[in-house]
Structure 1
Amino acid sequence: MKIDQAERILDAAAELFADHGVNAVGMGEIARAAGCSRATVYRYFEDRHALHLAFVRREARRIGVRVSVETAPLRDPTDRLTGAILTAVRLVREAPALLAWFGSADVATTAALAQSDEVIESLGFRAVGDHETAQWLVRVIVSLLIVPGRDDADEWAMVQRYVAPVILDTR
């Protein structure tokens, strides 16, 4: 299967983000890691912000698909919503290139991108309600990634008690 150049660039960026942090990586470093010129990187991504947005959108789509698949068997709406939120959190925590976005040097970039319409749509949270509700769910996920609970059971209990009732009552 042939990987196109834009995907190769994003894959190279992912490795660098995991190793060095998001904002510490420049376009020249990404070009070298992808085996292309800076001009080629700029042909696909207008600037670093565009590359960041493309990376986050791609990863949000991947997470959205996995969340949907993993939570499909859950029939209880509260369990399904809680499972969706915490599955997204788990998937980010398991991926070094994604977890890098939540370090202290990179969290401002993450916060700005996380609220973009493209990321919210890619995660698939529009199904839970209006745009503001979907934005709030992304904020909950970002909060859990920045300030985690004591353990999985603690996070499950917090989301079940404080998040799910609010979301499910507003639909």
Structure 2
Amino acid sequence: MADSTDRILDAAYARMLEHGLRRLTVDDVAKQAGLSRITVYRRFSRRSELIQGVILRELRRFLQAFEQAVAPLPTTADRVTEGFAVTLRLVRGHPLLSRLLASEPDMILPHLTLEAGPYVAVARQYLAARLDVPEAEAVAEMFIRVALSFVLIPDSAVPLGSDAEARAYARRHLVPLLPSEGIN
């Protein structure tokens, strides 16, 4: 079952990358995955669930890369600083997200704003578990929302074009928002 789900998500990702969301069909995904339509519908009963499945899988992949980058760092402040830089670099450079934001913003933006609750919840739970601070969930959500706003609205007076600029911003503006007991 997991193998079929991976094949479906791989095919959906490839179709989304090549053709966008507007032209994404379950029939095309099934064909590309080498599975029947009914198999796809058993795993994802609606097209919107298929899109959500792809986004959640990409979020989990992002979180793995994020973990590799920040886990070795000694302090919460260091992890927040590097985590912000890594987030901007990886999310801005993500092939599917970049393609959809450039070509079909009207199709992807609802998934990243009004319908982003499931994704924010996954990221919040992940980040809160790694922040050794009081009110970790609230702090994690604030950091996620700040990063998301810079990703979705890249035109800014804040220079964030490089990792060094993102780290400087995080040290200056995000680290001071940590509860004082958590800046180890």
TM-score (norm 2): 0.75
Letter in 1 for 2:70: T
Q: Residues 124 and 144 of structure 2 are in contact (CA less than 8 Å); yes or no, is this contact kept in structure 1?
A: no
C-alpha deviation, 1:142, in angstroms: 1.7
Distance change (3 Å), C-alpha of 1:19 and 1:142: farther
For 1:1-150, list aligned pairs within 5 A: 4-103=3-102, 104-105=105-106, 106-116=108-118, 118-120=121-123, 124-127=126-129, 128=131, 129-148=135-154, 149-150=159-160
Letter in 2 for 1:59: E
Letter in 1 for 2:161: D
Report the number of matched residues. Answer: 169
Letter in 2 for 1:110: L
* Higher Cα Rg, which structure: 2
C-alpha deviation, 1:168, in angstroms: 4.5
CA deviation string 1:41-70 (max 9, x = no partner): 111112122222222222222221221121
Percent identity between the aligned chains? 29
Q: 5+ unaligned residues in a row in structure 1: which ranges? A: none
Q: Residues 17 and 100 of structure 1 are in contact (CA less than 8 Å); yes or no, is this contact kept in structure 2?
A: no
Q: 2:178 aligns with which of 152, 167, 171?
A: 167
C-alpha deviation, 1:14, in angstroms: 1.2
Instruction: Report the Cα distance in structure 1 between the residues aligned to 2:117 and 2:180, rounded to whole angstroms.
Output: 23
CA-based RMSD of the aligned residues comes to 2.7
Instruction: Report the Cα distance in structure 2 between the residues aligned to 1:99 and 1:31, rounded to whole angstroms.
Output: 24
C-alpha deviation, 1:91, in angstroms: 2.2
Q: Residues 84 and 167 of structure 2 are in contact (CA less than 8 Å); yes or no, is this contact kept in structure 1?
A: no
